[in-house]
Amino acid sequence: MKSKIKKFMDLVRQRNQFEPEFLQAVEEVAETVIPYIVNKEIYYGKNILLRMVEPERVIMFRVPWINDVGEIVVNRGFRIEMNSAIGPYKGGLRFHPTVNLSILKFLAFEQVFKNALTTLPMGGGKGGSDFDPKAKSDGEIMRFCQSFMGELFRHIGPNTDIPAGDIGVGGREIGYLFGMYKKLRNEFTGVLTGKGMSWGGSLIRPEATGYGTVYFAQSMLETRNDSLKGKIVTVSGSGNVAQYACEKATQLEAKVVTLSDSGGYIYDEEGIDASKLAFVMDLKNNKRARISEYIDKYPKAKYVEGKKPWGIKCDVAMPCATQNEVNKVDAKKLLANGCFLISEGANMPSDPGAVHAFQAAKILYAPGKASNAGGVATSGLEMSQNSLRIVWTREEVDERLQDIMSNIHENCIKYGKQDDGYVDYVTGANIAGFVKVADAMLAQGVV
Ligand code: GLU
């Protein structure tokens, strides 16, 4: 088995030598999916996984724009159209200086599996730019978004490719992108998700990724007749996912004690309750300030500069910041402190060393492609509402989201339960996602 995986990875590595994050994401899938497909006759000679690691299309383009002092700035734009076997390409846009082909290909690859897990008809894609939104004026953000859409519009459409937000792309950016798309196409369609409520958005979409991550944790706890009540939770990040993970966990009577940003983390032993979270939301979403300001308002809390919150004692950890934010050393600290549940809100936040440590310790460990699928699932619900030209209530959307998350959890158990009863959610998510996409690809022939 090991040699089969190695042979496959050698081939993928040869072709994608300078893409470490992409190779990391592929290897994790190969390790779990290859052992599953070797005994299945229907996959013989079809090279399905090899076809899945090759994007259907990669679009790379120049994004020139003019900053507030009149200089011309040039950024690079991307859209990876990874797989459309089960639906149009679907996935977010990330605006962050670290964005490159490797990062977006890993995200697009993960998105294919994640979207399949939601059971909604969505293929996988991802895009973005190395543009850094930090400290940019509103006018600069708008001009950048308009230039970005000035090229992207010819590649996307409500039945072709439907982008959304990710790091650095929230409601404001989706608004500017949508406005430009509509102007260029002269069409009002559901081409983007994460839209404002008065122009085609869905209730619960802003909350969905964070809520979904907590719902998934709840399902995992239920397998041990346990609940979130009274649990100490560490959350990293302070953006959209972290904020709503914190909100839902608190509503379910857990105590969230940390949040972070790229500068460091805050530790509030008394818990970040609803009113403290409202302060954080205003700080991050309106003032666009640093999390360190939390301690000016709540001096009993601590701010730790340049560090991540994984050394803080907790029962449950929810990494909601970015890829590879938890390494093997962090994982060992979490385990030594008694953490027994990880529900990932970010995409691939645990590096392979951390994942293997969690698996070896047999704790409840949910990979992002399962536990953070609530965001894109609710994007799927936004698309359904756009097509039907109706708006569902908060309760309706939330109920569907909860159903989808518990369905994903069931599917992970179906494909991930080991002989000793331990549920390997990584294996479960990868195989469940793979089977759905692979079967569609088999049916559609070599295209
Ligand atoms: N960027 C989110 C994700 O990683 C959401 C994508 C979407 O809604 O299309 O799944």
Place of tokens 């991540």: 308
Q: Are residues 361 and 219 in the same domain?
A: yes
| Residue at a domain's end among 344, 371, 398 | 371
Is residue 137 a part of any domain in this protein?
yes
| Residue at a domain's end among 350, 371, 392 | 371
Per-residue model confidence (pLDDT) at position 187: 97
Task: Report which protein residue has its CA nearest ligand 1's atom 5.
Answer: 376
Nearest alpha carbon to residue 92 among 177, 185, 179: 177
Is residue 20 a part of any domain in this protein?
no
Catalytic positions: 126
Q: Are residues 177 and 267 in the same domain?
A: no
Nearest alpha carbon to residue 367 among 347, 353, 338: 347
Phi, psi of 31 (to 5 degrees): -60, -30
Indicate which CATH number applies to the domain containing 153: 3.40.50.10860
Indicate which CATH number applies to the domain containing 359: 3.40.50.720
Q: Are residues 117 and 228 in the same domain?
A: no
Gap between the Cα atoms of 31 and 2, Å rounded: 8
| Residue at a domain's end among 158, 187, 216 | 187
Q: Are residues 338 and 219 in the same domain?
A: yes
Is residue 425 a part of any domain in this protein?
no
Question: Measured from the CA of 376, which atom of ligand 1 is nearest?
Answer: 8
Per-residue model confidence (pLDDT) at position 2: 87
Per-residue model confidence (pLDDT) at position 77: 98
The residues lining ligand 1, judged by C-beta closer than 6 Å to any ligand atom, are 90-92, 164, 166, 193, 347, 375-376, 379
Per-residue model confidence (pLDDT) at position 22: 98
Give Rg (Cα) of the chain. Answer: 21
Q: Are residues 159 and 247 in the same domain?
A: no
Structurally, the chain folds into a number of domains equal to 2
Is residue 443 a part of any domain in this protein?
no
As given in the structure block, the two tokens for residue 112 are 């294919």
Per-residue model confidence (pLDDT) at position 373: 98
Q: Are residues 140 and 240 in the same domain?
A: no
Handedness of CA 425, 430, 431, 432 (dihedral sign): positive
Q: What is the pLDDT along the chain (447 residues), one digit of tens a residue?
A: 889 999 999 999 999 999 999 999 999 999 999 999 998 999 988 999 999 999 999 999 999 999 999 999 999 999 999 999 999 999 999 999 999 999 999 999 999 999 999 999 999 999 999 999 999 999 999 999 999 999 999 999 999 999 999 999 999 999 999 999 999 999 999 999 999 999 999 999 999 999 999 999 999 999 999 999 999 999 999 999 999 999 999 999 999 999 999 999 999 999 999 999 999 999 999 999 999 999 999 999 999 999 999 999 999 999 999 999 999 999 999 999 999 999 999 999 999 999 999 999 999 999 999 999 999 999 999 999 999 999 999 999 999 999 999 999 999 999 999 999 999 999 999 999 999 999 999 999 999
Is residue 86 a part of any domain in this protein?
yes
Check if the beta carbon of residue 237 is closer than 8 Å to that of residue 346.
Answer: yes
Gap between the Cα atoms of 250 and 229, Å rounded: 9
Q: Are residues 270 and 359 in the same domain?
A: yes
Gap between the Cα atoms of 244 and 92, Å rounded: 18
Q: Are residues 215 and 161 in the same domain?
A: no
Q: Are residues 241 and 183 in the same domain?
A: no
Alpha helices in 16-153 (DSSP H): 20-37, 48-52, 101-117, 138-152
Is residue 115 a part of any domain in this protein?
yes
Q: Are residues 160 and 226 in the same domain?
A: no
Residue whose CB lies within 8 A of the most ligand 1 atoms, among 110, 112, 323, 376, for a mutation test: 376
Owning domain of residue 261? 208-371
Q: Are residues 338 and 252 in the same domain?
A: yes
Q: Are residues 296 and 228 in the same domain?
A: yes
